[in-house]
A and B are shown apart, each in its own frame.
Chain A
Amino acid sequence: MQNLTRRNFLKASGLGAALWGVGGMRSFAAEARRKVIVIGGGWGGATAAKYIRLTDPSIEVTLLEPNKEFISCPFSNLVLAGVESLKNLTLNYNGLRKHGVKIRHEAAAAIEPDKRRVRVGKDSLEYDRLIVSPGVDLQWEQIEGLAAAKDTVLHAWKAGPQTVQLAKQIQSMADGGVIVMTVPPVAYRCPPGPYERASMIAWYLKTKKPKSKLIVFDANKDIVSKTGLFKAVFKDYAANIDYRPAQKAEKIDIGAKEVTTDTGDKVKYDVVNVIPPQRAGAIAVEADLVGGDKRWCEVDHVTYESVKQKNIHVIGDATIGLPVPKSGNVANAMGKICATAVVSLLNGKEPPVLAPGNTCYSWVNDKEAIAVVNAYKIENGKVVQIEQKLTPSKSVAVAQNSLAWRASIWNDMLG
C-alpha cells in the first residue's frame, strides 16, 4: 500500500473516478481562489483594493496599511493657515471592509517576487498579483544636518501629527518673525503643493501677522506647477513672501536656526519647514522595483505592471515615466485602471486600454482656489496628454468645486 499513488488508488477503486472528480474540482476551485495583495492604503492602494472587490468579488484582496486612519494630504496646507482642521481630513477604512477587503494594519516587511509572497511580521502571504502603492519616502540625508534633526525640523509633507505641529509653530510665532520653507527639486509628491502652502502661510501672515515674512527657497528654476496663477497670487502677498527660485537648501543648523543654500546664502529663521527630496517608498526600493535612478518605478502604461518584476504592479507617486503629476487624483485613477487590469489578467482577458485624469485644486486664501486639469489618452501603449487647462484666475467657485471634489473622491477611495 505504501506505493499506492493517488492515481493508482483511484484506478483500483470503483468509485475512484467520481471521487477524483469531486476532489479534484474542489482542490482546483480552492487553487482558483485568486489572491491580490495591496501594499499601501493611500489614494492609489485604497482605490485599487476597493475596485478589485467591486469588479470581481471572487478575488481575495488583502490590504497592508500600518495606519489605522487615512489622513488626506490634499487640504492639509489649509490646516497650517488655521482654516481647516485635520479632523475633517481624517477618514477610516470601514468602507473598504464592507467591500470585503481584508485589512491588516501592518507594514509589509519584504516582497519575495520569485515566490510571489509578501512577508508581514511572522507571516508569508501568497499572491497571484501584487499591487504596490508605497507613496514616497523622504531623503533626509540629502540635506546636511537634517537626518539628525528630523524630529524637530518639520516636513509636514505627509499629513498627520507634523501638520498640526507646524500649524502650532506658525501660529505661536511672534509678529515680525521669519518662516523659511524649502522646496525640493522635481520629482516630488504634489508639484503645486509647496506653492499652495506658501500661499496659505502668506495669507495667514498678511491677515494675522503682517510684519512677518515667509522666505521660500526653491531648488527649481521656477514655480513648478500653475506657474502664472501662483505668480499672480505671490504678487498679492508681496509684503509677506520672498520667493527665491533656483536656490537649493544644502544645510540646516538647528543650533543657529539657520538654513544655507547652494548659492551660499544663509538665512536665519524662527520657524522652518523643510520639504526633503523624495523617492518611492522603501519597500519598492528594497524589492528592486526602482530604475537606474534608484528612486522611482517604471511601469507599463496600461496595466501598471512593473517593467522589472512580473505580477507586481506599481501605482501612485512611486511611478515615473508617465506624463502625469504625482497627485492624489492621478493615484486614484491609476488605482481604478490597475484594478481593472488585474481583474482582467486574473480572468484571462485582455486588459482594457484606459488613461488616467488629473484634477488638482490649490487654495490660495481662506475662500479662493485655482485649479489645473489634465486629460490623457493612450498612444502606442503610452500615456499621452490630450490637454491641460488652468482656471483663468483664483475664485470662490473653484474653491467650492474643490470641496465637491473631495467629497466625491474620498468616497470613491474609501466609501
Chain B
Amino acid sequence: MGKSLTPFRRKDAVPHEKLFPLPLRERPVLSAVEGVRVRGVVGRSHPHQSIGLRLSLWTSFALIGFMLAAFAAGAGPLDSPGAQKSLVCSACHGFAGNSPGNTMPILAGINAAYFKKAIKDYAEGKRTSPEMEPYAKYVMHFGVDDIAGYFAAQKKQPAKVKADPKAISRGATLATQCVQCHGASGEGDTDKVIPALRGQAAGFVQAQLALFKENKRKPEDAVLDENKKRILKGLDDNDFADLREVC
C-alpha cells in the first residue's frame, strides 16, 4: 500500500519552518507606530489652537498614523510585483522557489539571466516540458524580469541531505568533470550564465542529465554540446543516480 510511491519522495524535504523563515510581523507594529504618533502630536499642538482645529488636526494625524501603520502592516513579503506574479509558481516550485519536491527544480537564488534563458527556451519549445511550456508563456506575458528578479533574490534553503554516502562518493568522483564549468562546489557562474547545481532537487538533476544524454536538451552552443556529449557518453542511469546525490 503506497510503497511504490515512496522511492520518489524526497528524503530531504525542507521542513515548514525553513520554508517560511520570514518573521511574521505581529500586532505591536501597529501600536508602536500609533504610540509614537500620539505622543509627537501632543507635544507639538499649539496652545491657542481652537478645540475644533485641534480635533481636526488630531483626526488628520490619527489618520496619517493609521495609514502609516496600515501601510507598514500591508507591506508584506508578497508585496512586490515579482512576488505577486510568481504566486502561481509556488504550487510546484514551493514558497519563494524552495521546492520540496524531488523532481521540481529549486528556483530560490537562481541566476536571473539563466532563469530568463530557461523561460524563453521553454516558451519557444526549445526545451520541451508539457508542464513548463504554458507557464513559461505566462511568465513572458506577465513579465519575465520581475519574476526572474524575485526568484534570484530568494534565499535557497539548505536541504537536509540523507543520501547514501557511497552514492555521494561515487557521484563526487564522476562530478570532477562537471566542476570545470559549474564551479568547484557546483555554485555555477553568473557571468557565463551557467546554472548552480549545488542544493538543486536531485530528481530534477537526474532527469536533466538523461535529457542531455538523449540529445533532447541542447545548450545551443556547439562547444558546450560536444562537451556534454563527451562527458555523458560513458555514463548510465546508475551514474546519474549517484551524480544527483552530490548536488
Interface residues, chain A, with chain B CB atoms under 8 Å away = 11, 16-18, 20-22, 24-25, 28-29, 32, 51, 53-59, 82-85, 87-88, 95, 98-100, 329, 332-333, 336-337, 340, 343-344, 346-349, 352, 354-357, 359, 366-367, 371, 373-377, 386-392, 397, 399-401, 403-409, 411-412, 415
Q: Would you give the 0/1 interface string for B6-39, flagging 1 where the beta carbon is closer than 8 Å to chain A?
A: 0011100100100110001111011100100110
The answer to whether A21 touches B58 (Cβ under 8 A) is yes
CB–CB A333/B134 < 8 A: no
Min CB gap A41→B, angstroms: 17
Q: Specify which chain A residues have a CB less than 8 angstroms from the CB of B95 in the assembled complex.
A: 411-412, 415
Asked if A412 and B90 make an inter-chain contact with CB atoms under 8 angstroms apart, the answer reads yes
Indicate whether B184 reaches chain A with its CB closer than 8 angstroms.
no
Which residues of chain A have C-beta atoms less than 8 A from B91's C-beta?
A: 329, 332-333, 357, 359, 405, 408-409, 412
On B, residues with C-beta under 8 Å from A are: 1-2, 4-5, 8-10, 13, 16, 19-20, 24-27, 29-31, 34, 37-38, 41-42, 45, 51, 54-55, 58-59, 62, 65-67, 69-71, 73-74, 76-79, 81, 84-85, 87-88, 90-95, 99-104, 130-131, 133-135, 137-138, 141-142, 201, 203, 207
Q: Are A400 and B8 in contact (CB under 8 A)?
A: yes
Contact for A25 among B13, B38, B70, B141, CB less than 8 A:
B38
Q: Which residues of the other chain, B, contact A409 by a CB distance below 8 angstroms?
A: 91-92
Q: A83-B4, A405-B92, A408-B92 in contact; A387/B87 too (CB < 8 A)?
A: no
What residues on B are CB-neighbors of A57 within 8 Å?
24-27, 73, 76
Pick 17 A–B contacts, CB within 8 A, sort by A. Answer: A21-B41, A21-B62, A29-B66, A51-B78, A54-B20, A56-B73, A58-B25, A354-B88, A359-B131, A377-B138, A387-B137, A397-B103, A400-B8, A404-B201, A406-B101, A407-B102, A412-B95
Within the complex, what minimum Cβ distance (angstroms) separates A204 from chain B?
13
* Chain B residues with CB below 8 A from A85, complex form: 1-2
Closest beta carbon of chain B to A149's beta carbon, Å: 29
Of B2, B58, B101, the contact of A407 (CB 8 Å cutoff): B101
- Which of A11, A347, A392, A411 contacts B100, CB < 8 Å? A411
Residues of chain A with a CB closer than 8 A to B55's CB: 17, 20
B19: chain A residues within 8 A (beta carbon)? 411, 415
The residue in chain A whose Cβ has the minimal distance to the Cβ of B9 is A403
CB distance from B56 to the nearest CB of A (A): 12
Give the 5 A-B CB pairs with smallest separation, nearest first: A404-B101, A58-B73, A375-B134, A347-B74, A375-B138
Task: Establish whether residues B10 and A404, one from each chain, have CB atoms under 8 Å apart when the complex forms.
Answer: yes
With contacts A340-B84, A403-B8 taken as known, whether A389 is within 8 angstroms of B130 at the C-beta atoms is yes
Instruction: Tell me how far the C-beta of B17 lies from the nearest C-beta in chain A, rounded to whole angstroms.
Output: 8
**Contacts A95-B16, A371-B131, A407-B101 hold; do A377 and B5 have CB atoms under 8 A apart?**
no
Instruction: List 8 extra interface pairs beyond A357-B91, A397-B207, CB under 8 A.
Output: A59-B73, A87-B2, A98-B16, A336-B88, A344-B74, A366-B4, A376-B138, A377-B138
Q: Which residues of A contact B134 (CB under 8 A)?
A: 357, 373-375, 386-389
Q: Report the minimal beta-carbon distance from A414 to chain B, rounded to whole angstroms.
A: 9
- Chain A hits for B79, CB < 8 A: 55
Shortest distance from the beta carbon of A242 to any chain B beta carbon, whole Å: 27
Given contacts A397-B207, A408-B104, contact A337 B142 (CB under 8 A): no
Which residues from A are CB-within-8-Å of B59? 24
Residues of A within 8 A of B100 (CB): 407-408, 411
CA distance A398 to B177 in the complex (A): 29
Taking CB as reference atom, which chain B residue is nearest A31?
B66
Contact status A403-B66, CB under 8 Å: no
B29 and A408 contact, CB distance less than 8 A: no
Asked, given contacts A88-B5, A387-B133, A409-B92, whether A354 binds B84 with beta carbons under 8 Å apart, the answer is yes
Known contacts A95-B16, A359-B91, A32 near B99 by CB under 8 Å: no
Chain B residues near A337 (CB, 8 Å)?
Answer: 87
- Whether B101 contacts A405 by the Cβ 8 Å rule is yes
A405 vs B103: C-alpha distance when bound (angstroms): 9
Q: In whole angstroms, how far apart are the Cα atoms of A344 and B65 in the complex?
A: 18
Contact call B54/A408, Cβ cutoff below 8 A: no
Complex interface: chain B residues within 8 A of A332 (CB): 91
Flag if A390 contacts B130 (CB, 8 Å).
yes
Are B9 and A356 neighbours in the complex by a CB distance under 8 Å? no
Given A58-B73, A83-B5: A400 and B102 interface contact (C-beta under 8 Å): yes
The answer on a CB contact under 8 Å between B104 and A401 is: yes
